[in-house]
Amino acid sequence: QVQLVESGGGLVQAGGSLRLSCAASGSIFSINAMAWYCQTPGKQRELVATISRGGSPSYADSVKGRFTISRDNAKNTVYLQMDSLKPEDTAVYYCNMRTIVDYWGKGTLVTVSS
């Protein structure tokens, strides 16, 4: 059974940095895109960043220039480096890995204090 496990969330002051990681365990093959989403109470899950199998990244406008997504295909792991954090970045962050099936992690909470 495939599981995605996120780590790296926590409490940080505005202007600070966090690095999220998401590792897949189990039999997962031919991962195409990997992505990070965020969700706040009462809102739909939103795409933060995605990275193709070949390593091409794409970002939501709100995080461009501040967040960096990367992946290690050998480790089936995706990262999100979050710099210059703002209070509005506060959310639960979920990783996603896409094969012929979509896999999701359970989320990690990021709280940015002002």
Chain-wide mean pLDDT for the chain? 96
Report the alpha-carbon angle 43-76-55, nearest 5. Answer: 80
pLDDT at site 1: 86
Q: What is 16-78 written as a DSSP string? A: --EEEEEEEESS------EEEEEE-TTS--EEEEEE-TT--EEE-GGGTTTEEEEEEGGGTEE
β-bridge mates for residue 77, sequence order: 23, 72
- Per-residue pLDDT reduced to its tens digit, 35-64: 999 999 999 999 999 999 999 999 999 999
**Mean pLDDT calculated for residue range 65-90:** 97
Residue 32 has pLDDT above 90, yes or no: yes
